[in-house]
Amino acid sequence: MRLSVLDQSPIPEGQTNADALANTLDLAQLADDLGYHRYWLAEHHGGPMLAGNAPEVLIPSVAAATKRIRVGSGGVMLPHYSPFKVAEAFTILAAMYPGRIDLGLGRASGTDPRTTFALQRDRSRALPDDFPNQLAELLGHLDGTLPQEHPFASLSEWLPEQRPEVWLLGSSPQSRIWATEGELRYAFADFINPDGAAFAKPADAVAVWVVCAETEEEAQRLASSSRMTFSLLRRGRLIKVPPPDKALRYIEQYGSTPGGRRGVIGDPDQVRAGVEEVAQAYGANEVIAVTITFDHAARRRSYELLAEAFALVPAGA
């Protein structure tokens, strides 16, 4: 089974966006060395917790800092963009780093309604939900299959010849339908919707929230930071990632909001068993691990232990 990384570039309390982005480059180099298959950068907007709001900007920096790992978007939120502009950006990236670039596409806004409106070029009205048309146009540019009568058909001739590997990302039944219709590789976000196995099977990959430490107790302590941030998020409060001691005090006083994300949390043996169980539920041969901790060293260690648990082959071995 392949293991990969989804990095949302979390911002710990007391640190800056620049610190979080430096951590992203450091973690990408570690993942490359450890033998992870791909490294995806997320797109989130308008909040204090996550610094990754432009994967198309981060991808070339990560690709340049690594040697063999695939690098891509997890994902580009297509409703914010012109399909032709996305095709231009990712064919350039594919030309710069042949055989290493993924274009993961999402439909969600990745933010709140106000920030979504701020991202629009035309603010005279709310834009329609035309994701299927956007997706079809983008794929037409990449595949050179736009009908001759399409007004943009000739533009595809001037794109670089190299193409990214295209994925559709999703957390709903509709995304599974679009992936099937478009014959696209499909990655399901179990860390957003843990009930997806009922409709998303089979998925090519499944993204799972993972925290691994030497002991289950330590893993649960580290995971408390993420639990607090998402508990407050559901209450409309946005914060940076808090230290575990602060998070544990919060959880002890207020508890965690029911219906939260599923986590595979524990020591290496527990995490391996949990990851394999989720992968089997989705019929996936690839798991994309999402790990958020307050301490960057603990996040690095979590990915090291996960790699050891699955006996990944280090680069150059």
pLDDT tens for 266-313 read 999 999 999 999 999 999 999 999 999 999 999 999 999 999 999 999
In whole angstroms, give the CA distance from residue 207 to residue 188. 6
Mean pLDDT by groups of 10 residues along the chain of 317 residues: 97 98 98 98 94 96 98 95 96 98 91 84 80 95 93 92 97 93 95 93 97 98 95 90 97 73 93 98 97 98 98 88
Distance of CA 3 to the CA centre of its chain: 13
Q: Strand 286-290 relative to strand 70-77: parallel, antiparallel, unpaired?
A: unpaired
What's the rounded Cα separation, in Å, for the pair 164 and 75?
Answer: 13
Among 214, 229, 156, which residue's Cα sits nearest to residue 8?
229
Which structural domains are found in the chain, ordered by start?
2-214+262-309 (3.20.20.30)
The reply to whether the predicted model has a pTM over 0.85 is yes
